[in-house]
Amino acid sequence: MARTDRMGSSRRIDGHAVAAVLPVVALLPAWAASVAAFWWVVQLFVRVPYTLFAAGWFVLGVLLFWQPVQRLFLQRVIGARNPTREERLRLHGAWAVVAQQNHIPPSRFVLAIIDSEDLNAFATGGHLMVVSRWAVDNLTEDELTGVLAHELSHHLGMHTVALTVNQWLTIPVVLFARVGYFMQNVAQAAGDTLERRSPAAAVVGRTAAGLLTIVSWVFLSAITVAQWIGNSVGKGAEFAADTRAVEMGFGRQLLRSLRRVIDAGGGERATHWRDRLVTAHPPARTRVARIEAQLRRQARGTQR
C-alpha cells in the first residue's frame, strides 16, 4: 500500500467544493420565501425582524457540523441509523485501516448505516459517513476500505460543506410545500362540501386549492433544480475523491468495490439527458477506467 503523508490527510478546499455552492445559491430564493412565511406566523406572537429570524435559521445550520448533532439529528434526518454490533465490527475494522493510513483518530468521524439494498455510500456534515446495509453485508473488508477512503476524501476535500448547508436550507422549503399541499386538500374538500349549498363558494375553494397547488409545486421545483445542479457539479467531486483515495493507497480496493457495481448490472452511462440530471455519480465504468489509468501512472512513477 502506498504511503500517505500527514499533509495528505488534512482538509483543504478544492475547486469542486467551491462549485458545490451553486445549488445552494439556486435554492436561496425559495428558502428566503419559505422562511418569510414561517416568520410571518412567528411574528404574530413574538416581534422579531425577518433578517434576524432568517439569520438565526441559517446560523443554526452550523451545528450540523458538530459531531454530537450529527449523531443525534443529522443522521436521522437523512434516514440513517447506528450500526448493529455485527455491522460495527465489519465497518470499524475497515475504517481503522483507513484512519491509520491517514493518521486520523478513528473517533473523529461518525459511521452510520442506511437500509438500502444497493451498493451505496455518501459523506455529509463535517464528520458523517454513511454506508448502505448491502455494502456492509456483502463487501469484503478490503473493498470496504476503498469505499471509506473515497468518502473520507470527500470530507478532506471539503465537498460536504455546501451539501450539508443545502440539506439544511431545504428543510423549511419542504415544510412550506407540505403545508401548501395540506391547505390545498382542505380547500378542495371545502369546495366539494359547499358545491351544493353555494356554487360561488365552491369556485372560491377550488380556485384557492389550485393556487396552493401551484405555489407548492414551485417550491418543490426549486429543490429539484438545486438537486440537478448539485448532481451536475457533484460528478467532478466524485472523480476528485477517487483520485485522492488512490493517492491514499486504496485505489485497488476502490476498484474492486466499483466492479461489484458493474457486475450487478450498473456502471453504464445514462443515455438520456433527464437520467443524467438525476444521477449523482459518474458511471462506474468511467470511474474504473480513470482509476486504472492513475494506478498505471503511479506504477510507472515508482519504477523510475
171-210 pLDDT, tens digit each: 898 888 887 777 777 666 666 666 666 666 566 666 766 7
Q: Among 244, 235, 40, which residue's Cα sits nearest to residue 155?
A: 244
Q: What is the pLDDT of residue 162?
A: 85
Measured CA distances, 199 to 6, 13, 183, 186 (Å): 74, 61, 20, 17
Please report, for the chain, the start and end positions of each structural domain, with discontinuous segments joined by +: 6-303
pLDDT bracket for residue 2 (50, 70, 90) = very low
Overall average pLDDT of the 220-249 stretch: 88
pLDDT digits (tens, 9 = 90+) for 6-31: 444 567 777 788 888 888 899 999 99
User: What pLDDT, in 10s, does the model give residues 42-66?
Assistant: 988 988 999 999 999 888 888 888 8
Residue 121: all three cell numbers together: 455510500
Q: How far apart are CA 123 and CA 200, in angstroms?
A: 54
Q: What integer best gives the mean pLDDT of the chain?
A: 83
Contact between 166 and 23 under an 8 Å Cβ cutoff? The reply is yes
The CA distance from 121 to 237, in Å, is 14
**pLDDT of 276 strictly over 50:** no
In percent, the amount of the chain with pLDDT more than 70 equals: 83
